[in-house]
Amino acid sequence: MSNLDVRPVPTLCGGRRAVPGSPVHDVLPGRAVLLGESTEVRRLLPTLGRRMVGAWCFVDHYGPDEIAAEPGMQVPPHPHIGLQTVSWLLDGEILHRDSVGSVQTVRPGELGLMTAGRAIAHSEQSPDPHPALLHGAQLWVALPEPHRRTEPRFEHHAALPVVTAPGLWATVLMGELDGAASPGTAFSPLVGAELLLAAGAAAALPLERDFEYAVLTLSGTPEVDGVRLDPGALLYLGCNRDELRVRGDSDCRLLLLGGEPFEEEIVMWWNFVARTGDEIAQAREDWMSGSHFGEVTGYDGAPLPAPALPPVPLKPRGRAR
C-alpha cells in the first residue's frame, strides 16, 4: 500500500537514542489518512509519539469497511525503495501487481511480502467482484544497509506457522515467535504475529529481552500487560521483557510487532526509505522520468505521480518525539 499523502513530510528516524531500556506503556492513537478516493486508514507508525518499533517503520490499519457497493481499495502503480511491504488481511481480498511480473490475490491469513530493495513499483486493488468487507493492515519494514539495494521480489505464503495456548492462536507473519518461524524472508531480527484471543481467555507469550515491542488492537478491547486497549490503538511496550500477558472479555484480534532496535538512521518520504535527502530526490526523479522502477502491467489506470519535494532541508527528528 502506498502513502498517498499529497504533502508528505520527510522524517528522519532510527537509531537507539530514544529506545527505552525498560518496559513502558505508551498508548498511541492512530490518525485518519485518506488513501485515494475510497479507503480511509488509521496510521499508527510513524506518529509523533513513536516512529519505529524495531525495523517496523510504517503501520496502517484499515476497516472493517462495507464495500459491497463500493470499488474498495484502488491504489494505482507507485514506487518503493529500501523497504519491505507486509500485507495482512482479516477480511476481503487484494489483487497485487508489480513491476517484476507478480500477479497475486492475497486473502485473509495469507502473507503478501514485497521486498522493494533497489526499486520496485506495484498496485493494489480490490478485485471485481470482491467480498463485502475489507479489513486489514499494511506494514513496512526498513531494510538494513547491507540489503537495502537488493533485487526486488514478491513472496506469497498461504500457510504460516501458528503458536497455540488455551484460548490463544498466534499466527507468525514475520520472524520467529516461541520457536515458530515464518517462511517470509526477513533481513533483520524481528517478529510480527496476529494474536487471536477467545472471549474470557488469558495467556502469556514469551518475548526476547533485546527486542522492543508494540501491540495494535485490530478488533475487540483486550487487556495487554494490564492496559485496556480500544480498537485501532497501538501500545508501545519498550524493551527488557520476558513475556507478554494478554486477556480479553470478548473475542479479540491483535498484531504483535517487535524487533531489535534499528541502529541506522533512515529518511522516510512518501513511499521511499533511504539514508539521505539526496537519495530521496533521486528516487523521485527516477519515478517521474520512468527510470529504474519498471512497469506494472494489467492495471487499468495511470501511475501515481510523486508529490513535490518540500522546499526545506530534512530535519532530524529521531525515533520518538
> In this predicted model, what pLDDT tens digit does every residue of 32-45 receive, in sequence order?
887 656 667 899 99
Tally Cβ neighbours within 10 Å of residue 249: 14
What pLDDT was estimated at residue 33?
Answer: 84
pLDDT of residue 32: 85
Give the confidence band of 261 by pLDDT, cuts at 50, 70, 90. Answer: very high
CB atoms within 10 A of CB 86: 23
pLDDT in tens, 176-197: 999 999 999 999 999 999 999 9
Please write the tens of the pLDDT for every residue from 23-71: 999 998 888 887 656 667 899 999 877 899 999 999 999 999 999 999 9
Average pLDDT over residues 227-240: 94
Asked if residue 92 has pLDDT above 90, the reply is yes
pLDDT at 283 over 90: yes
pTM: predicted TM-score of the whole model, two decimal places: 0.92
Given a cut of 60, whether residue 222 has pLDDT beyond it is: yes
| Per-residue confidence (pLDDT) for residue 15, from 0 to 100 | 54
Split at pLDDT 50, 70, 90, the class of 11 is: low
DSSP 294: -
C-alpha cell at 75: 491504489
pLDDT value, residue 312: 74
Lowest mean pLDDT among 56-60, 119-123, 229-233: 229-233
Q: CB-based burial of residue 141 (10 Å sphere; 0-12 exposed, 13-18 middle, 19+ buried)?
A: buried
Q: Alpha helix locations (H) across the chain?
A: 277-289
Tell me which long-range contacts 144-150 makes (C-beta under 8 A, separation of at least 24): 144/55, 144/187, 144/188, 144/262, 144/264, 145/264, 145/275, 146/187, 147/117, 147/187, 148/81, 148/82, 148/117, 148/118, 148/273, 149/82, 149/117, 149/118, 150/115, 150/117, 150/118, 150/187
pLDDT score recorded for residue 311: 82
pLDDT of residue 17: 58
Q: Which of 45-54, 78-87, 309-318 has the lowest mean pLDDT?
A: 309-318
- Which residues, in sequence order, are bridge partners of residue 28? 234
- Percent residues over pLDDT 90 in the chain: 82
**Nearest residue to 47 via CA among 73, 18, 67, 69:** 18
What integer is the mean pLDDT of 11-27? 71
Amino acid at 249: D
The pLDDT of residue 316 is 44
Half-sphere exposure of 79 (CA within 13 A, CB side): 26
Question: Looking at per-residue confidence, does 118 or 37 come out higher?
Answer: 118
**C-beta of residue 152 within 8 angstroms of C-beta of residue 120:** yes
Contact between 203 and 246 under an 8 Å Cβ cutoff? The reply is: yes
For the chain, what is the mean pLDDT?
91
pLDDT value, residue 31: 85
